[in-house]
Structure 1
Amino acid sequence: MVLLREGMCPGLDEDFVRRLRDAQVKTVEDLVSSDMEDLAQKCSASYKALIAIRRVLLAQHAAFPVSGADLYDELLSSTAILSTGNPDLDALLDSGVYTGEITELAGGPASGKTQVCLGVAAHVSQHLRQNVIYVDTTGGLSAGRLRQMLRTQTSSDDEQMEALQRITVHRAFDIFSLLDCLYRLGGDGGGGGGLRQASSHGGSVKALIVDSVSAVIAPLLGSRHDEGMYMKSQVAITLKAMAKDFNIAALVTNHVTRSVEGEVQPGLGVSWSHVPRTRVLLERLPDADIDRPTRRCATLIKSSRRPCLIRAELDLQWWSRSERDTSGKRKLDRADS
């Protein structure tokens, strides 16, 4: 379901959207399935204007057939792979995060999700010279931490500042703020579309990071379950559309829960599990000690390219080391079933 919003098409202004909502027409699906004559009377609107809006919305949102050959050609011409900056994580993800897709990092508190997001943002900005949109919903983003990571990649203050300027930060601490932010970035909120515009430093936006989606969705899945499910679907639809339409790599984080059998699994339920193309579970190592406090176990639990249940041992300090020991021990083995 797609919410009706001001500016989605010509003629759909704020007043028109309000009148449609008063008539219980809140989504594109509601409008296109309504009786136009009846709706025109309820909204005191022009029948011809409603027909025109309906025609435009059908053109924008209806599914049209396409051949497999066309899809494959589009894939070859548009897909790019962005290195995360961590060779172990890249190997687990089959070279990195892919544009046009959503990649999810799931983990409990202190599992390293934000650290990985910061590391990816720093690497894409500094080494790949691409712009990054970082949506912080928890207050976990630290500009000082980003600067520290960039210092290990370049000693030039100018290069560090240029890299920081390629990372645009948005803060959204509730689901409504997050959706508003995503709509504005996609160009639906009348702000010009942050993903369409190249930054003043050149390049294009290639990565969208949301840390975390569950922080703003999960609170609604309790007493306000129906509203929470609806909002969750809106976030999913918007993120998938942005990744595909703007050819960006979307990286999101999620919390974890325990199944009936006691196994750790990503949160937000079965319906959300279909949203990310790739899912990685981050966990502390069972034998972690004071000599290895930054080591984590990453398990590939969903992928369209690699066998699932592959594990890698990650060092969260990789993005912060000026001298990296590439001869260190790396594990990439199939997990025990």
Structure 2
Amino acid sequence: MDRLTSDIHSLLNKDLVKELHKRNIYTVIDLIKAIQVDRKVVEKISKLHLREIVDLNKFLLKKYGPCAENAFEHYQRIILQSAILQTGIGCLDKLLDGGLFTGYIYEICGLPSSGKTFLCLSLARHILTTTKDQVYYIDTKHDFSATAFRHMLADSKDQAAEILSRLLVVRVHSRPEFLNTLFSIKKILRVKQTSKLLIIDSLPALYFLNGNHTENNSFLNYTVNILNYLVNECNLVILVTNLITLWSDGDIKKVDVMKERISCGGYWANVPNARIKLKRKHETCIVNLTKAVKAIPPNCECELKFTSQGFV
């Protein structure tokens, strides 16, 4: 599912790509579908001749269409590229059966100020200080602080500048900008595997931009498709932070009884392969594994301590 850009084909100039985006045609698949469903509409939007549209369609199908792959070779490639990223937090690694598995989406959820962002920064710090890999960090809340992260590198002062250069932070302000960022990351990783960790902090900040359920679900669908591609084809670990909210059923007799609800709707609830729930408790944080890559262990809870250099 490649993003439509002007460098794909000579007929797709920048003005035409902008017009297609205005009509919610963002990807190659969207354009192929539009041509098949109503070619005349595409002809009117693009002002291309019928023959040019047919040639463009053939080119896109040939370049981006599915191709058969030997199942055994595919399996061998996955095994060679698979890895387990240790979090650097002993009890959390034990809870996750060794660490974070490439090829999976992990959700970190909790009430506001429960430590979700701090856990993401702690994991990023460990990966950056123990490997030479890059870490992608998509900041949708606009609260990432390079100064605060540098303080977490107090024991690596001599290498702080080099470590920070491998933390690739992208601050996004809109859904199209977010999706474009994901496509850019995909394009980079298809050329060279420079990273195994992508952090999205946070999804609700984009999901709640408007109250149109159709647009929200369409956005989630696009997001899930590209995230699944990244974990499966680029062998990434993707961490997504999500918000837990408290709701009352409206029963006057049970006004003090509040129910927890995970944001982004029922569709998203089934997307993550594992869900890590955080609960703040004074200077510590209780971690509960509510959904696991494999079976949930009997002891699915551990306690983390806040320190200046991250969770321990």
Q: 2:4 matched to which residue of 1?
A: 5
Are the aligned partners of 2:119 and 2:310 in contact in 1 as well (CA < 8 Å)?
A: no
Q: 2:224 matched to which residue of 1?
A: 236
Report the TM-score, using the length of structure 2 for normalisation: 0.81
Q: 2:112 matched to which residue of 1?
A: 109
Q: CA deviation at 1:206?
A: 1.9
Q: 2:165 matched to which residue of 1?
A: 165
Partner AA of 2:150 in structure 1? R
**Whole-angstrom distance in 1 between the partners of 2:19 and 2:137:** 35
List alignment gaps of at least 5 residues for structure 2. Answer: 250-256
- Is 1:212 the counterpart of 2:202? The answer is yes
Q: 1:282 matched to which residue of 2?
A: 278
Identical counterparts, % of pairs: 26
Cα shift readout 1:40-84 (whole Å, capped 9, x = no counterpart): 466431334323332344356555565654443232112111111
Q: CA deviation at 1:101?
A: 2.3
Q: CA deviation at 1:184?
A: 2.8
Cα shift readout 1:90-137 (whole Å, capped 9, x = no counterpart): 122222222232211111111110001101111111112211111111
- Is 1:311 the counterpart of 2:289? The answer is no
Q: 1:267 matched to which residue of 2?
A: 263
Report the TM-score, using the length of structure 1 for normalisation: 0.76
Q: How does 1:18-33 map to 2 (within 5 A)?
A: 18=18, 20=20, 27-28=30-31, 30-33=33-36
Q: 2:134 matched to which residue of 1?
A: 131
Structure with the higher fraction of residues in helix conformation: 2
Q: 2:181 matched to which residue of 1?
A: 181
Q: 2:254 matched to which residue of 1?
A: none
**Whole-angstrom distance in 2 between the partners of 1:136 and 1:28:** 29
Q: How does 1:36-185 map to 2 (within 5 A)?
A: 36=39, 39-40=42-43, 43-59=46-62, 62=65, 69-152=72-155, 154=156, 157-185=157-185
Partner AA of 1:206 in structure 2? K
> How much is the aligned-residue C-alpha RMSD, in angstroms?
3.2
Are the aligned partners of 2:3 and 2:183 in contact in 1 as well (CA < 8 Å)?
A: no
**Whole-angstrom distance in 1 between the partners of 2:66 and 2:246:** 37
SS of aligned partner of 1:226 = helix
SS of aligned partner of 1:317 = strand
Are the aligned partners of 2:118 and 2:310 in contact in 1 as well (CA < 8 Å)?
A: no
**Whole-angstrom distance in 2 between the partners of 1:19 and 1:78:** 39
Q: CA deviation at 1:205?
A: 1.8
List alignment gaps of at least 5 residues for structure 1. Answer: 188-192, 325-337
Q: 1:61 to 1:283 in 2, by over 3 A?
A: farther
SS of aligned partner of 1:33 = helix
Cα shift readout 1:182-215 (whole Å, capped 9, x = no counterpart): 233333xxxxx4x4677xxxx8222111111111
